[in-house]
A = this chain, B = another copy of it.
Amino acid sequence: MKNPPALEQLIESLRCLPGVGPKSALRMAYHLLQRDRQGASGLANSLQTALQSVGHCELCNNFSEQPVCPLCSSERRETSQLCVVEMPTDLMMLEQTQSYNGMYFVLMGRLSPLDGIGPKEINLDKLIRRAQDGIVKEVILATNYTNEGEATAHYISELLKLRGISVSRIARGLPMGGEIEYVDSGTLSYALQGRRQY
């Protein structure tokens, strides 16, 4: 006794979602067919629309429905600074600080050889072309301070320095409200090394 073929196919297809294994896929398929057919139909349409209309901005590589995204085509941005982030969410967080007005480049990932993500997958060729447009004066690396984010930043900095482009890395130290008693020693050690003249 098995599920009907179209249902088995749906269960299999749901497994392309990250973090969804056989049990979750089964639960999702039952839920959609039993309790939320409207949602399932909406999801199918949204997937197709997104696949058709969402591509990447030619300049910043972020998701965009236009060839050049609204942020890159804005005339009020400082074009001499280029901030490199891993994901669109990082870009949004930086925008929320309202303390940066330059351009961005979104890698859409981080170097992670074990997951098969190398320089090509995170569009480093495109980044290097972008950084050599003659207008960008400084590349600010704002990848995460995880092992993979650090490795990515290091790799990019080497590539860019070879081409004579000025590269910087966002600071590491105590977070706002951070207490020395509770912070880990790695962070504290970097906070000491990165001290600034008052």
| Residues of chain A whose beta carbon lies under 8 Å from any beta carbon of chain B | 1-7, 9-10, 12-14, 16-19, 24, 26-37, 39-54, 63-65, 69, 71, 87-89, 91-92, 95, 108-109, 121
Q: Given A16-B36, A44-B45, 5 other A-B contacts at CB below 8 A?
A: A14-B17, A14-B43, A18-B28, A44-B44, A44-B51
Which 4 interchain pairs have the tightest Cβ spacing?
A16-B39, A13-B46, A44-B47, A10-B50
| Shortest beta-carbon distance from A121 to chain B in Å | 8
> What separation, in Å, do the CA atoms of A5 and B91 have in the docked complex?
17
A65 and B13 in contact (CB under 8 A), knowing A1-B71, A51-B41, A95-B1? no
Whether the Cβ atoms of B71 and A6 lie closer than 8 Å is no
Whether the Cβ atoms of B34 and A108 lie closer than 8 Å is yes
> What separation, in Å, do the CA atoms of A193 and B54 have in the docked complex?
63
> What separation, in Å, do the CA atoms of A33 and B49 have in the docked complex?
11
Identify which of A6, A35, A52 gathers the most chain B CB atoms within 10 Å of its CB. Answer: A6
When distances are taken between beta carbons in the complex, the residues of chain B under 8 Å from A18 are: 27-28, 31
Whether the Cβ atoms of B4 and A64 lie closer than 8 Å is yes
Which of B7, B47, B71 has a CB less than 8 Å from the CB of A40? B47
Whether the Cβ atoms of A88 and B51 lie closer than 8 Å is no
> What separation, in Å, do the CA atoms of A65 and B9 have in the docked complex?
13
| Shortest beta-carbon distance from A118 to chain B in Å | 13
When distances are taken between beta carbons in the complex, the residues of chain B under 8 Å from A39 are: 13, 16
A46 and B12 in contact (CB under 8 A), knowing A27-B18, A33-B54, A51-B37? yes
